[in-house]
Copies of this chain bind each other. A is one copy, B any other.
Amino acid sequence: MNLTLEDIGRLAGVSRSTVSRVVNDEVSVSPDVRTRVWEVIRRTGYTPNAAARSLVSGRSGVIGVVIPSRVHSLFEDPYFPRLIQGISAASNQQNLLLSLFIFQSEEEESELYPRVVTSGMLDGLIITATRMGDRLLAQMTFSELPIVMVGRPDIEGVSYVDADNVGGARRVALHLCSLGYQKIGLIGAPTSTTAGVDRLNGFIEGLAMSGQVLHPDLRVDGDYSEASGYLAMRELIPRSPDAVFVASDTMAMGAMRALREAGIRIPDDMAIAGFDDMPAAQTSMPPLTTIHQPVAKTGARSLLLLDDLIKGIVTRPTAEILPVNLVVRESCGAHRRSAEVDLGLVEPSGGKN
Quick one: which of B48, B99, B103 contacts A100, CB cutoff 8 A?
B99
Q: Which one of A2, A65, A119 has the highest number of Cβ atoms from chain B below 10 Å of its Cβ? A: A119
Pair A62/B99 contact, Cβ less than 8 Å: yes
Kindly state the separation between the CA atoms of A141 and B2 in the bound complex, as whole angstroms. Answer: 17
Pair A45/B114 contact, Cβ less than 8 Å: yes
Q: A75 — which chain B residues lie within 8 A by C-beta?
A: 78, 81-82, 85
Chain A stretch 28-72: residues in CB contact (< 8 A) with chain B = 45, 47-52, 54-55, 60, 62, 65
Q: How far is the CB of A239 from chain B (nearest CB, A)?
A: 30
Number of interface residues of A (CB under 8 A): 43
Q: A82 — which chain B residues lie within 8 A by C-beta?
A: 75
Please encode chain A, from 63 to 105, with 1 for each CB lying within 8 Å of some chain B CB and 0 for all others. Answer: 0010000000011101011101100110010000111111110
For this chain, the copies found in one complex come to 2
Kindly state the separation between the CA atoms of A120 and B48 in the bound complex, as whole angstroms. Answer: 9
Is A182 in contact with chain B by the CB < 8 A criterion?
A: no
Q: A85 — which chain B residues lie within 8 A by C-beta?
A: 74-75, 102
Q: A50 — which chain B residues lie within 8 A by C-beta?
A: 60, 119-121
What residue of chain B has the Cβ atom nearest to residue A57's Cβ?
B51
Given A81-B81, A102-B84: A60 in contact with B55 (beta carbons within 8 A): no
Chain A stretch 271-302: residues in CB contact (< 8 A) with chain B = 279
Given A81-B80, A108-B92: A47 in contact with B99 (beta carbons within 8 A): no
Q: Which residues of A contact B (CB under 8 A)?
A: 2, 45, 47-52, 54-55, 60, 62, 65, 74-76, 78, 80-82, 84-85, 88-89, 92, 97-104, 108, 112, 114-116, 118-121, 279
The 4 closest A-B pairs by CB, nearest first: A50-B121, A51-B55, A47-B118, A88-B102
